[in-house]
Amino acid sequence: MARNSLGLRGLSVLLCVLLLLICGCRLSAQNAASCNLTVRVTGLRNAKGVVRLTLFRDTKAIETRELQIDPATLTAKVGFEKLPQGTYAVNLFHDENKNGKMDQNFVGMPTEGYGMSNNPKKRMGKPGFDETNFQINQPEMAIEIKTIYW
């Protein structure tokens, strides 16, 4: 009889431990998939047009948004919800004439503003993903991108 009750008690403890592990795994999976990112764009030279912003995950574009510019502050803001933890980057440009593309002059210099996460310095050529990526690993994150004009 004592042997049976010890076996049942041990089985009960084992079941409780398994339930706790299963619940813990579910909670950590939910937390990993519930990161929110806010992107604030500053330094816009005017309120003409829109900001076209693309979010990348591991070098793949996953979402593009068109942002309205606040004429009082010359800023734009967007939020992304329920992102899985991982490596991301953001690219944007100020589409002043709303033609859907980054305009350039005759030598290939941008005539509209642009920006990227981590705010790399202005230079010839586009920075690579390794310079613009960042980790999303917290429930709430915010980044600011400063618009560059030539």
Task: Kindly report, residue by residue over 2-18, the tens digit of the pLDDT.
Answer: 555 556 666 566 555 55
pLDDT score recorded for residue 10? 63
Pairing of strands 35-42, 76-83: antiparallel
The answer to whether residue 25 scores a pLDDT higher than 50 is no
Are 21 and 51 in a shared domain? no
Are 62 and 79 in a shared domain? yes
Number of domains in the chain: 2
Are 99 and 112 in a shared domain? yes
Using CA atoms, how far apart are residues 67 and 126, in angstroms rounded to an integer? Answer: 22
Are 92 and 119 in a shared domain? yes
Q: Token pair 């998939």 is at which residue?
A: 33
pLDDT grade, residue 34 (50/70/90)? Answer: confident
**Domain with 5 in it:** 1-32
Going through the chain in order, the beta strands assigned E by DSSP cover 35-42, 50-57, 60-67, 76-83, 86-95, 114-116, 134-136, 140-146
Cβ atoms of 36 and 50 closer than 8 Å: no
Are 81 and 129 in a shared domain? yes
The answer to whether residue 69 scores a pLDDT higher than 50 is yes
Averaged confidence pLDDT in the chain: 88
CATH of the domain at 44: 2.60.40.10
The answer to whether residue 24 scores a pLDDT higher than 80 is no
Are 91 and 41 in a shared domain? yes
DSSP state of 148: B
Task: Kindly report, residue by residue over 95-139, the tens digit of the pLDDT.
Answer: 999 999 999 999 999 999 999 999 999 998 899 999 999 999 999
